[in-house]
Every structure is written in structure tokens, then in C-alpha cells.
Amino acid sequence: MFKKIVFSFFSGLVLAGSLTSVASAQTTGSQAYNVVVPKSLTITAPSASTSLDHNLTATPQAFPAQMWAVRGNLRTGVVVNFTTMTPFVHTEDSNFKRNAKLDLAVGGSQGPATWSVDKASDTTAFATGDNDAQVSVSSSGVGRADLNLTVSFLTDDLGTLAEGNYATTVVGTIAAK
């Protein structure tokens, strides 16, 4: 009987020792994962040039609003400028010019940023040497927006408007705020 008790006692110690060594052999590890998101600013112009036929009145000739898509992931926001560096100039005779007008509005937006139109409208005045028109919008943070830009050809005196094609180019830029 004593032998049986001693054997049971030692068997219990061996079993307890093996459980203890299994439990103490377990370890843990960890690994951190980081994602680096680079700065991203994009501006996408409408895909094609646009034209219109003048209606031969003295009223401004407005092109349909063109949608420009902009996106910026800066927490401080972005500034978007639209500029025409020249008035409308006759494509065959640069002596004939007409002023250009830009009008800007925010069409829609996504993300947490608030979009504000800083300068909604501007016009060239080539007779006084003001050959550019510039409008701008800015955001308060991360987001995207669809901006509606309307360009108008200002006819003024119809009697001095030479027939033919007149052209100007609008350049859009996006920058960190």
C-alpha cells in the first residue's frame, strides 16, 4: 500500500511538472503594421474642348458649365485656382479680342472637407491691360469636389466684332493650403 501511495504521489508530481513546463514554454510575440499614405493632389479637366456659335446679339455668350474634379488628402486643405491668361483672341487676327469672364461654383463634394468659393467671378479687361481672369476655391481638409466653371465671351459692341473663331484657354491648378 505504501508503495502504491508513493507511486501515485510521484506520478502526480511528474504529471504536474509536465503541465507546468508546457504552460511556461508558451510565449507571445507581436508585430506592428504601418501604412504610409503619401500626399495626393489631383485636378481633372473636362475631357474635350468646347465651342459655341455666337447668336449675334450683344449679350454675353456663356458656355455650358464645365465640371472639373479635384481631390486632396491634406488635412490642412487645398486651394484650387482657375485662370485664363488672355481674353478671347481671334485665331487668325490677334488685333480682334473680346473679354472673357469666369464664374465658379461648387457642384458637389465628398469627404469631411468644407469647400468655400474664395473668388466666384472675374473678368479680363484687355483695354486696360488686364489680360487675365482668375477664380478660386479652397477646402478645409481632406475631400473631393466637383467644381462647375462657366466661361463667357463678352461681346460688347456687336458692330466691331469680326467674324471668325476666338479662343482662350483656362488653366486649373491645385496646391496645398
Residue 17 pLDDT exceeds 70: no
Residue 146 pLDDT exceeds 80: yes
Asked if residue 136 lies in contact with residue 81, where contact means CB atoms within 8 angstroms, the answer is yes
Query: CATH top-level class for 41-176?
Result: mainly beta
Give the whole-angstrom CA distance, residue 11 versus residue 116: 80
Per residue in 97-132, pLDDT tens?
999 999 999 999 999 999 999 999 999 999 999 999
HEC string for the chain: CHHHHHHHHHHHHHHHHHHHHHHHHCCCCCCCCCCCCCCCEEEECCCCCCCCCCCCCCCCEECCCEEEEEEECCCCCEEEEEEECCCEEECCCCCCEECEEEEEEEEEEECCCCEEEEECEEECEHHHCECCEEEEEEECCCEEEEEEEEEEECCCCHHHCCCCCEECCEEEEEEEC
Give the whole-angstrom CA distance, residue 18 versus residue 30: 27
Per residue in 39-72, pLDDT tens?
999 999 998 899 999 999 999 999 999 999 999 9
Give the whole-angstrom CA distance, residue 142 versus residue 73: 4
For residue 67, give every residue at least 6 positions away whose Cβ sits within 8 Å of its Cβ, in sequence order, or none: 46, 107, 146, 147, 148, 149
Does the global pTM surpass 0.85? no
Residue-level pLDDT at 25: 76
State phi, psi for 7 to the nearest 5 degrees.
Answer: -65, -45
Residue 7 pLDDT exceeds 50: no
Residue-level pLDDT at 122: 98
pLDDT bucket at 161, cuts 50 / 70 / 90: very high
What's the rounded mean pLDDT across residues 158-167?
95
Asked if residue 104 lies in contact with residue 75, where contact means CB atoms within 8 angstroms, the answer is no
What are the boundaries of each domain within the chain? 41-176
Residue-level pLDDT at 47: 86
